[in-house]
Chains A and B, each alone.
Chain A
Amino acid sequence: MTASSNIAFEKLVRPHFDRLYRLAWRLTGQKVEAEDLFQELLIKAYGKLDDLVKIDEPGSWLSRIMYNLFIDERRRFARRRMHTVEEGEMAGDGLAGLPGTDNPAWDHERLERMRTLDSALAKLSDEHRMIVLLHDTEGYKLAEIQELIGIPVGTVKSRLHRARRRLREILSADGTFS
């Protein structure tokens, strides 16, 4: 590969970095894993540069590769899921990114609610958590989720319904909503 290949590659992928990083984070839920996944995607995409230049929508193409890498990785390590620190400690990793406000009391309440949500999301199945985060948090359309994970829109919709219902049950049982 030449310097001009590197420039062409960067031009194609960089506009999608934020969205891809967010996807990696939502799929893995951990910074270390998200950065590994993002890195592996770029390496793989670079090896497919000849294909990438012909793609009309590189963002969707890259997202699908990332999702497939994630699934492959999850299958490979299904029996030995690993964490840099103990599971409970990392569950709230994303909460470190919660921006502050000028109202400490409100911040505290918001942080507590986010911790509760974080814990409730951890109780969902991987499939349900992924769909609810992609749709309700990241704003993916049903058709985009269909294209990403390769299941019919109807199935995406029913999984989303079930995931939301389950989340509500967990939060209600927890006393967050009564």
Chain B
Amino acid sequence: MTSDGGDAVKVVPVRHVGRWIAGAVMIVVVAMLVHTLFSKVSTGQVSCRTVNGLRTCHPVTNWRFSWNIVFHYFTSSEILHGLLLTIELTILAMVMGIVLGITIAVMRLSPNRLLSSTAWSYTWFFRGTPVYVQLLFWFNISAIYQSLSIGIPFTHVAFLHINAVSLFNPFRAALIGLGLNEGAYMSEIARSGLIAVDEGQIEAASSLGMTRGQTLRLVVLPQAMRVIIPPTGNEVISMLKTTSLASAISVVEVLGAAQNIYAANYEVMPLLITASVWYLIITTVLSIGQFYLERHFARGAQRTPPPTPIARLRQDVKGILAKFRTPRPAMTREVTA
């Protein structure tokens, strides 16, 4: 009998035949996908050369996915401008959505019935209509309001006048449309976070003499964040892609830029791929950011924070290396009795 934990029990592991078959099938499928992505096709043209009086001809081939065109436009100024606008629109609309969402969630939970029913109606309206319709609506709002003014309702008293056409330029219309719509979804996310905080936390804050506002700001919201952050990350990623709808109201974001280019050169697929690759890149960056944000707000909730992907990778590599290292002989220690 060994007294230290050095020698593990020697067993023949169960063979997972199903897993091996599934793995093999997956490898074939992935290989097929990679093959088609980088396959070349005939263009129908033939190129001929005469070398030493001998004329040889062979068909001209091209990437099926036109990677050369994708690569050419990938960092073109139109696409990069569009990309910048996409990022700008995503950030601003999300900020607007988060601020609105938290405000509406707090209103929804207010003991004041008028506030809570207003908040409910807001969510009902903006979740109940498609965001595409809302964007078209804000884009065309100047058709029903030539000018906007702030004043006293049902009187002619007005403090501020704004021309609607100049206010609702395509970018602002898109921003307002996306932001208001996002506010409705964010309010539900924020509300679920606020409700998830234990009632005892609020009582403890009150017993210290904190006001309602302080309790919300210092105790409830920071703890609600843990619940709010993961779905908000999803919302940011979803928003990034929803901004592509703004191209329908003549905002030249990344998809709009791609469309403008292929309208001129008819290279539809390569430019759609260009836009898609950019979306994928930003989504990846956002996912990484989300991981670290979640880790930050999980403090206090978990005894040990989850490892970072890099730490996990290091651990995995170490594990695999350990497997391949030559196993120690079962009995190396001298038996001293």
A complexed with B: no
